[in-house]
A and B are shown apart, each in its own frame.
Chain A
Amino acid sequence: MIIALLASLLTQQAVPQEAPQIMAALTHETVEIREDFAGTELILYGATRGLTIQDEIVVVLRGPDQDLRVMQKQRSFGIWVNAQAQEFDAVPAYYSIASSRPIEEIASRDALVRNRIGLAQLLDESATQATMDLEPYFAAVERAGARNALYTAAPRGVEVLDGGLFRATLALPPRTPVGNYTAEVYLFREGRPIARRSTSMRVEKAGIERVVYEFAHGAPIIYGLFCVALAMLAGYAAAALFGRR
């Protein structure tokens, strides 16, 4: 299957044009979260045209957005209380960067900011009107995401193969959120992106997970009654099974 994929990418490559080009495809168009889901690995295959030895490749996989509230803990009356909230709109719930070399070596901070690569830049854009120093809040969001492996960086996660082909490995952790994902692939030369390509995929619940989730959200009232009825039945069955004493 991989061979076929690469072959199709190579034939696409035979376009008569000299400018550098990049093509990419993900191994999955949808990732299904079933009851045994405990994270998975996603492979992105790509082909480049006009790749030179000093070119580098960066792959950014971005998950669905979520609104966040970040609060700083403060001690009051001896206990730690959440205070000083800062709100963020549309922060990606998943964000990972794979590159052929550590990203700091590929491009300058300014170049990354200009191309909107990196979580710090996205957080800066998504913060609602700030009244204080936001740096610690950005760091807190990054830490929280990193803790569940939702924000990752793989400085050598892109393998450049022969003939302008490359392969990026991206990890989807157990807590992968459902929704639409986009993968942006950049070809960097001398610190500037000279070609880019994007592709997308979906993470969705499947099987029992999907049935339960859709039941709970689609018909919450019936779902609530169902949960209560099931629990009562279970209690009754237990009593019947073990005998009442």
Chain B
Amino acid sequence: MQIYLPIAEISVNIFLLLGLGAGVGFLSGMFGVGGGFLMTPLLMFIGIPPAVAVSTEANQIVASSASGALAHWRRKTLDPKMGLLLLIGGSAGSIFGVQLFSFLRGLGQIDLIISLSYVSFLGIIGGLMLIESVRAIMRRRHPEQRREGGRTGHRKRGWIDALPFKMRFPRSGLYISVIPPIAIGFFVGTLAAIMGVGGGFVMVPAMIYILRMPTSVVVGTSLFQILFVTALTTFLQAAQNQTVDVVLAMLLTVGGVVGAQFGARAGRHVKGEELRALLAFMVLAVCLKLGWDLVITPADMFVVLPRGGEVGH
């Protein structure tokens, strides 16, 4: 059964969209990731214009992060103060990202920038995750090689502690400068606008390794920031570029909600390290596919783009 999408202006099979939503939802439920980094490229592969794919995916992430953020808020497993700082940076980043998006679209280079961003971020994150999880698996097999001390020992005072404008974060038990969270938030907000992702895959490692937040509040705080930044991105893209397709977003959300439930159940039967290795392979696969498309000789050496901002007119 075909459905005509009012903003994307193409006709797509409704079961394909529900299936995509469910499939990506299953993976995101299983791995505890947002899934934007998979969904946006997939939407582009099936022919949704990139501008619509990115904006609409931001809208879907609002829905998928809302329930998670709410749960963490109730359980008090998020740091609202840190979340607020990330959000301030994220809002500025999102506004900047949407402007940059419009500008690059005007130049006819948006597809390239989206692809390059995906290839570089997915490559780095996927690679690091793979190394990390393979090490963890090896360590478990050979327990005698376990590192001693652990992370909680004497932490080296790095450049982060030298920055001014320090603030206390009681929930995280930190006393650090406000500059790194705002900068990280800004960076992730820009990514959200350009790549149509929540940015959890960048923010979570940044919170753990740069801000050194306790892992118990990392996921909740990240979801809190993602919820509000994607909400702002959706609003800005809708108001400025008219590229949010609410019908597409709702179909993906319905599929995603159901898929995530089954994914979460399936995830309980797989060990953490294997799960992370699996996710790393998936991230690298998407990265390779997009990277491959950039280097192989294109089937058509020319590209025809609409001019004047509007999509598909």
Contact = CB atoms under 8 A, between A and B. Distances in A.
B62 A228 contact: yes
A7 interface: no
A130 to B, nearest CB: 15
Contacts of B239: 220-221, 223-224
A140 interface: yes
A93 B306 CA distance: 10
B7 A212 contact: yes
Interface string A49-87: 000000000000000101111111100001111100101
Interface string B105-119: 000110110001000
B4 A33 contact: yes
Interface residues of A, number: 62
B63 interface: yes
Given A220-B239, A235-B65, A212 B6 contact: yes
Contacts of A163: none
A232 to B, nearest CB: 5
B302 A236 contact: no
Interface in B245-272: 246-247, 249-250, 253-254, 257, 261, 264
Interface in B210-262: 231, 234-240, 242, 244, 246-247, 249-250, 253-254, 257, 261
User: Contact residue range for chain B?
Assistant: 35 or more
Contact of A140 (B2, B116, B231, B302): B302
A47 B50 CA distance: 46
Given A68-B306, A70-B302, A232 B231 contact: yes
B298 A73 contact: yes
B108 to A, nearest CB: 5
A157 interface: no
Contacts of B231: 228, 231-232
Interface string A186-212: 000000000000000000010011101
A241 B66 CA distance: 14
A225 interface: yes
B235 A37 contact: no
Contact of B307 (A87, A234, A241): A87
Contact of A82 (B254, B257, B303, B307): B303
Contacts of A81: 109, 112
Nearest to A245: B264
B261 A242 contact: yes
Contacts of A136: 301-302
B313 A71 contact: no
Given A33-B4, A68-B307, A87-B307, A231 B234 contact: yes
B190 interface: no
Contacts of B257: 234, 238, 241-242
A216 B244 contact: yes
Given A37-B11, A225-B235, A239-B70, A234 B250 contact: yes
Contact of A235 (B64, B236, B244): B64
A216 B9 contact: no
Contacts of B116: 79
17 contacts: A34-B4, A37-B11, A38-B2, A69-B305, A79-B112, A79-B116, A80-B294, A143-B302, A144-B304, A174-B4, A174-B11, A212-B246, A221-B238, A224-B234, A224-B244, A230-B250, A235-B64
Interface of A: 33-39, 64, 66-73, 78-82, 85, 87, 93, 136-137, 139-141, 143-144, 174-175, 177, 205, 208-210, 212-213, 216-217, 220-221, 223-228, 230-232, 234-236, 238-239, 241-242, 244-245
